[in-house]
């Protein structure tokens, strides 16, 4: 997997060890996906703190002070790794709790949202009885066409009965219902038009393409 992020090999190794502790299997791939997602979408100051946490996890002195074991995270048994992370989850130190929430949620999400590759699909899908569906694209395609604006051309005035901000699950339905009863509607959307044929077919791709900042819009403390 080509690297598109500044994380060091040791940081990625630690991230993979975290991924394996949270959900078994496929940890190296998940570490790479998580690092790329954080670098691409999270606040740079948060990314720096998360990388610092990964380095601290491998500090024997830090682990001696915090959990009573003078061992790097990589040298701990799976059971001790779980106890270490649970200690971070309930720590009185905000940075430890925040790091646990950030890594835990993201790595667990990727474990089930990543479809895998054609040659090696995600084995968890079969384990939980999920079979991806690929229904045919409807013949009744959308007739919506986006209106693009060039800031250099000056202001543009549009008149409508209702302005809907966002075309997601809420805004899209409201706009459709209002137009159905004869109202003129303008929908303001920051993202690109995605029609039926181009709609993502898996959760990970959907977050990448349809969500602002790829869905990583949370406060630092979660």
pLDDT digits (tens, 9 = 90+) for 57-113: 999 998 888 778 889 999 999 999 999 898 888 888 888 888 888 899 999 999 999
The answer to whether 222 and 169 have CB atoms below 8 angstroms apart is no
187 forms bridges with which residues in the sheet?
A: 164
Spatial CA neighbour of 165 closest among 194, 196, 195, 190:
190
- Mean pLDDT (the chain, rounded): 87
- Boundaries of every domain in the chain: 9-132+203-215, 151-191
Using the predicted structure, report yes or no on whether residue 3 has a pLDDT greater than 50. no
pLDDT in tens, 173-193: 999 999 999 999 999 988 888
pLDDT value at residue 74: 94
The answer to whether 38 and 106 have CB atoms below 8 angstroms apart is yes
The model's pTM: 0.77
Is pLDDT larger for residue 221 or for residue 52?
A: 52
Q: Which segments within the chain are labelled E, that is strand? A: 162-165, 185-188
Determine what percent of the chain is predicted with pLDDT higher than 90.
41
Band of pLDDT at residue 218, cut at 50, 70 and 90: low
Q: How many CA atoms lie within 13 A of 8 on its CB side?
A: 9
pLDDT value at residue 191: 85
pLDDT value at residue 113: 92
pLDDT in tens, 122-153: 999 989 998 888 888 888 777 777 777 777 88
Using the predicted structure, report yes or no on whether residue 2 has a pLDDT greater than 90. no
């Amino acid at each position: 997997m080509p690297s598109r992020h500044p994380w060091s090999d040791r940081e990625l190794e630690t991230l993979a060890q975290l991924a394996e502790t949270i959900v078994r299997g496929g940890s190296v791939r998940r570490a790479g996906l998580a690092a790329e997602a954080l670098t691409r979408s999270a606040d740079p100051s948060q990314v720096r703190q998360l990388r610092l946490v990964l380095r601290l996890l491998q500090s024997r002195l830090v682990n001696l002070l915090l959990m009573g074991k003078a061992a790097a995270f990589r040298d701990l048994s799976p059971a001790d790794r779980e106890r270490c992370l649970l200690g971070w989850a309930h720590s009185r130190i905000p940075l430890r709790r925040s790091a646990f929430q950030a890594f835990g949620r993201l790595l667990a999400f990727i474990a089930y949202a990543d479809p895998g590759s054609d040659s090696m699909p995600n084995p968890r899908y079969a384990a939980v009885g999920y079979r991806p569906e690929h229904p045919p694209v409807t013949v009744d395609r959308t007739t919506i066409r986006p209106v693009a604006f060039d800031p250099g051309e000056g202001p543009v005035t549009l008149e409508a009965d209702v302005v809907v901000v966002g075309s997601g699950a809420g805004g899209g339905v409201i706009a459709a219902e209002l137009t159905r009863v004869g109202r003129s509607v303008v929908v303001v959307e920051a993202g690109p038009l995605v029609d039926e044929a181009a709609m993502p077919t898996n959760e990970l791709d959907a977050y990448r393409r349809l969500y602002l900042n790829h869905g990583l819009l949370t406060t630092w403390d979660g």
